[in-house]
Amino acid sequence: MNSLRQAITATALLGAAAAGVSCGDVVRQGSSPVMILVDSLQGIGGTSSGSAGVQTAVLNSDVEIKGSIFNDLGSAMVRIVPKNINTTPSGPLLTTNNEVTITRVHVNYRRSDGQNQPGVDVPYPFDTGATATLPLTGLAVPLIFELVRHDAKLESPLIDLRTKFAVINTVAEVTLYGRDAVGNVITTTAYIPVNFADFGDPS
């Protein structure tokens, strides 16, 4: 009984320690007086002409077009807003130190049926670079980034779609990472449906 009680106590202490770490991380990332908002997130399918396709709210990612592969892009309209709407005169005074520069994008794919093993059920998650500075005016700034890599279409499970009539329906979880001018980390996450298949070559 004593050993069981000791095990429970140790587990509780480990949980408290983990919670402390998590809370500290939230506090560190949440110390900026502004937050990032994503007004819209759309996909841009690659085309055989080499130019970007039309922006769509749902991306149909073609795994092969006329014997070639093309990456697909994401297009987000991003802005910052103060956490405290009473920024003046009683609230904090925002300066250019609070402008946020986006530096990195993380993309993770999930299926609604819960089968989410990377390289088997869905493409591997990845990080990519993207840069945009969000002004204090609250003006939305366009951010273009890679949403589906070339490599993903050469790996399982996407490469298998070339030889079978099937569609993999996913939701892409897109996390934007940025910092304000004094180094505070700010993140936000947006979502877009991405359907993978060999949709057939355009005429």
* pLDDT tens-place string over residues 85-104: 665 544 556 788 889 999 99
Whole-number average pLDDT of the chain: 83
Domain presence at residue 203: no
Q: What range defines the domain where residue 3 resides?
A: 1-30
155 and 173 both lie in a single domain: yes
Both tokens of residue 112?
């609604």
119 and 162 both lie in a single domain: yes
Q: Residue 71: is it exposed, middle or buried by C-beta count within 10 angstroms (0-12/13-18/19+)?
A: middle
Count of domains observed in the chain: 2
Whether the pTM exceeds 0.85: the reply is no
Any idea what the CATH number is for the domain that residue 159 is in?
Answer: 2.60.40.10
13 and 86 both lie in a single domain: no
89 and 9 both lie in a single domain: no
* pLDDT tens-place string over residues 96-149: 888 999 999 999 999 989 999 999 999 999 999 999 999 998 999 999 999 999
For residue 140, CA distances in Å to 38, 167, 174, 179 come to 9, 34, 17, 17
100 and 6 both lie in a single domain: no
19 and 103 both lie in a single domain: no
